[in-house]
Amino acid sequence: MAAVTWKGWKVLKYVLVIVLAVISLFPIYIMITASLKTRAQVFTIPPIWFFNPRIENYLAVLSTLNFFRFFMNSVIIGLSSTILSIGFGAMAAYALARFRFMGHRVVLTSTLFLRMIAPVVLVIPTFILWTKLGIMNTRYSVILSYIALNLPFCIWVLRTFIVDIPISIEESALIDGCGEFTIFSRIIIPLIMPGLSVAAIFTFRIAWNEFPLALVLTNRYTRTLPVAVSLFMSTTGIDWSKITAIATIIAIPAFIFTFVAAKNVIMGLTAGAVKG
């Protein structure tokens, strides 16, 4: 008797899991299918579930909207912020993990609190300061803000990875006459590659997805994709077939990270909370 109910429970669990997976995927699925339908098909109710997928919306988006420029802005801003954040972050993490110095505790505790500063708090002062400095509407200004936003998380995650490295490796390198900079670049960096990939995924995600700062700090030449889609929505009425096409393109890195590096993502999510 007990065995039967146990089996029933197991089946029930699979049903639950499938229902949850459908709930998670359904909105995304609807977005992607809408982007592959013709305009007429999108505006048909009851919805058409089976149709010939077409890429016309993507072609239209690519040709009409200066879309390629915005795409390149997003790529350049995303990659530069990621590389600089994890580079500067790894250096700072090394200092915090391996040296005792004046201000050590202050810096370490502040990285925790700085993570709470939201883009919306930075929008107004950054807008004014960058205007005064004459770097408004440049990609550099956005990159600078994104590095600052991401550094606290990068420093913090990378520090936990460096602390885990046995210090004897570095000590023997010191005896061999290596300087700290050589130890950092030749020993530490290769050993924290998993940490660097976690930090890179989360940094790129923030830089690629960020909206409030990009909205205010860029113009029609330096605009990123999330800003482009929001402006496109308000200027043309709601052309769902094109809007879902842009939204799908914005979601591509999310698909890649999820289906290629889910393990690293979960590691980053749990590291951010459990040890935080």
Partner 1 sequence: MTSKQLLQRTTPYMFLFPALAVILVAMLFPVVYGLGLSFFDWALRDIRVAPVFRGLGNYVELFKSEYFYTNIRVTLIFTLTVTVSEIVVGLILALLLEQKMAGLRIFRTIFVLPIMVAPVVVGVVWRYLYDPSFGMINYFLSVLGIEARMWLSEPQLALPSIIVADIWQWTPFVFLLLLAALQGVPKDLMEAGMIDGTNYLQNLRHIKLPVIQPIIIVTAALRLIDAFRSLVVVYIMTFGGPGKSTELLSMAVYKTAFISQRLGLASAIAVILLLIIFLITMFVFFTSRGESRR
Tell me the per-residue interface mask from 243 to 262 with partner 1, x by CB under 8 A, - otherwise. xx--x--xx-xxx-xxx--x
Least gap, CB of 221 to partner 1 (angstroms): 20
Least gap, CB of 196 to partner 1 (angstroms): 15
Tell me the per-residue interface mask from 178 to 217 with partner 1, x by CB under 8 A, - otherwise. --x---x--------------------x--xx-xx---x-
105 touches partner 1 (CB under 8 A):
no
Residue 167 sits at φ, ψ, to 5 deg, of: -70, -20
Applying CB under 8 A, which part among 48-56, 60-68, 145-153, 165-173 lies near partner 1?
145-153
For residue 46, whether the previous peptide bond is cis, meaning omega lies within 30 degrees of 0, is yes
Burial group, residue 123, by CB count within 10 angstroms (0-12, 13-18, 19+): middle
Least gap, CB of 244 to partner 1 (angstroms): 7
Which residue in the set 23, 49, 166, 237 belongs to the binding site for partner 1 (CB under 8 A)?
23
Applying CB under 8 A, which part among 63-71, 161-169, 190-198, 232-240 lies near partner 1?
232-240
The interface with partner 1 within residues 35-64 (CB under 8 A) comprises 42-43, 45-47
131 touches partner 1 (CB under 8 A):
yes
Question: Rounded distance, CA 197 to CA 211, Å?
Answer: 23
**DSSP-H helix ranges across 50-138:** 56-64, 67-98, 104-114, 119-133
Q: Cβ closer to partner 1: 44 or 172?
A: 44
Residue 52 sits at φ, ψ, to 5 deg, of: -80, 115
Q: What share of the chain is helix, strand, coil (3-state, %, to 5)?
A: 80, 0, 20
Task: Classify residue 275 by its DSSP letter.
Answer: -
Residue 130 sits at φ, ψ, to 5 deg, of: -70, -35
Least gap, CB of 119 to partner 1 (angstroms): 8
